Structure 1
Amino acid sequence: MKPLKILMFSSLMLLLQACTSSMVSSPADHVSLGQSAEIQIPPVMFRGQIVIGPQTSSFTPCNSNQQFLLTLSPQQFQTLSQQVASPYQAIYGEIIGFLTAPSQTGYNADFRARLIAHQLNYISQDGVRGCSQPVQNTEAEGQKPNWRVRMTSPENLAVMFGKSSPQSWPVANINHTGDQRVYTAPQGKLTLSPSLCQLNHQALYGWMATFNTQKGRYRGCARLSNQDSSTAWVATYYASSTRQDNFSVTLTLKADHTAQTLYRYQNDPVPIVETGFWQALNGDQIQVVMTQHQQQYLLSQRIFTRQGDQLHAPKEQVGQQIYDISEGGLTLFRSQP
């Protein structure tokens, strides 16, 4: 399997030399294959249905039919198990985490990816209604007395006490650390700390909230905005050979973080198909990992760097081996909407 794949990519790069371009010097924060042990994957927000079972837990992103194997800490597993009435009941969840490749053993190979849960953001027992709701902004609320703070924009907080009309508070400063998120306005300060918090039995929040105002100090629960910060990468990218072989490659990055690569010869109507996942590494780079080649488990990855509307990858890793892609690398062009 592996020699066939390497031969295919060597041929591909020869055919695509008219579409390739040389890489400019990378900024210091860029990463490359060969630095795998040093690559830190920034966690992002995943929204979807969670299924907790004694043997396997899974996560299905909203508006997707793809399942990820879900890896939870013992505490997270215990917490989520208490939110279901029976094993394998679907609940709605927002998880801050990142993806990694599933192992090849047993049923694991049937999953596109494994979702590593870094933190729970919000859990609801209604497994269907959650995904039908629009994307939420960062919000905190408490009871006795009732209060609510909602971030309507990076510069503004909507503050409401009891049944009074919302007040607009301008945000003077936002400070995010590993332990806290602090939103400061002239009238007060909202502090969020990662900790499980519950206002009622139907929902579980991933943040404790402390709201200090001129009127007093209030406590409650909070959830961060459930917007995936990496959605700008979602698109189809392509490269076509100008040679007579008429070979093309198409990479599709989907909103559920799954990825598909098609390799197609014009005289063959059946493309070679690879499937896997993608995730952003920083503002300019993404990791694309393929976990199945023609529906068989085969692990490969590329790191693409964005250059305008183009993606460029100089190397590919297949298994544990890293290869230089011929003719300076693979360059893909973003399809226009």
Structure 2
Amino acid sequence: MIWGHEVRTLQPCGSENAFWVQLPEAFKQPVSNLTSEPYQPMYAEVFGYLEPTAAGFAEQYPAQFVVTEVNMVTAENPNRCEQPTRPDRAFGNEPFWNATYNEQKVTFTQMSQEAQEFTVKELEQDLTQTRVDYNSGSLTIDKQICRDSMGDSLYGASSSLEVNGKTFKGCSTLSNQADQELYGSYAQTQDDGTTITLTLKPDHISETRYSYADGSNDVTENGYWQSLTNGKIEATNVSYQAKS
């Protein structure tokens, strides 16, 4: 991700394409403060949706990505696309601690100490907070900006973990598991012999090709795609060209 005045872009891992990006107002200045030079690349994990671009600097891009939730943004090392999948976790410094969690257990570790596992008694979750209760304490995660005390990283959630009467403060991230792999090519032939082929690429760029039975030139429309909450796929075309 690049966040500047004339360039505000999000480039999916493994792609040469980029989308204009819109951050929530609360994150704009904190993200700007992470960088030490203009238009410095950063690594970001974000949630949101795609929509058509507006006039101005954004209109040269195929779409704009509207961020609704930030998992993490870091200027420390932008080359993190190849990192392994990690679980939901909470963590902090001074002292260093880390906790992974799911519906069954919480695994808590401190530097130079053996991991401790706690069986989850109750897990409550709403739009702004997650609370995990276990016999030795609780883990509370609040959706609010959290700054790494020892690095140039921002997170979208803070954490507070209690173990045997002791409290640990830090940040939290959701798993970096990628979305379900829906990309590929889908074809349908209509009654008049026209074949429509929709190609969904991993970076959310789409191509719709119309091949005609009468030998006319193919027509290709380019755009973007995204999965909707109802399980359907939405493809939006923003440009087209005829091919021989």
Q: Deviations over 1:151-210 (max 9, x none)?
A: 3x5433321123222233333433221110222333332111122222312322221101
Contact 1:193–1:207 (CA<8 Å) still a contact in 2? yes
RMSD of aligned alpha carbons: 2.4
Contact 2:137–2:165 (CA<8 Å) still a contact in 1? no
Distance 1:261 1:196, change over 3 A: same
- Is 1:164 matched with 2:132? no
Where relative contact order (Cα < 8 A, 6+ residues apart) is larger, the structure is 1
Amino acid aligned to 2:91: E
**Match among 46, 55, 63 for residue 113 of structure 1:** 63
Scaled by the length of structure 1, what TM-score is found?
0.64
Distance 1:135 1:292, change over 3 A: farther
What CA distance in whole angstroms lies between the structure 1 residues aligned with 2:68 and 2:136?
33
**Match among 123, 136, 151 for residue 187 of structure 1:** 136
- Structure 1's unaligned 5+ residue stretches are 1-49, 296-337
Identity %: 25
SS of match in other structure, 1:82: helix
- Is 1:96 matched with 2:96? no
Distance 1:183 1:238, change over 3 A: farther
- Structure 2's unaligned 5+ residue stretches are none
Amino acid aligned to 2:17: Q
What CA distance in whole angstroms lies between the structure 1 residues aligned with 2:107 and 2:187?
43
SS of match in other structure, 1:81: helix
What CA distance in whole angstroms lies between the structure 1 residues aligned with 2:200 and 2:186?
8
Distance 1:278 1:146, change over 3 A: same
Matches within 5 A, 1:179-258: 179-197=128-146, 198-228=148-178, 230-241=179-190, 246-258=193-205
What CA distance in whole angstroms lies between the structure 2 residues aligned with 1:73 and 1:64?
24
Please name the residue that 1:290 is paired with. 237
Amino acid aligned to 2:4: G
**Match among 16, 23, 28 for residue 65 of structure 1:** 16
SS of match in other structure, 2:28: helix
What CA distance in whole angstroms lies between the structure 1 residues aligned with 2:126 and 2:241?
43
Distance 1:82 1:239, change over 3 A: same
SS of match in other structure, 1:278: strand
Scaled by the length of structure 2, what TM-score is found?
0.86
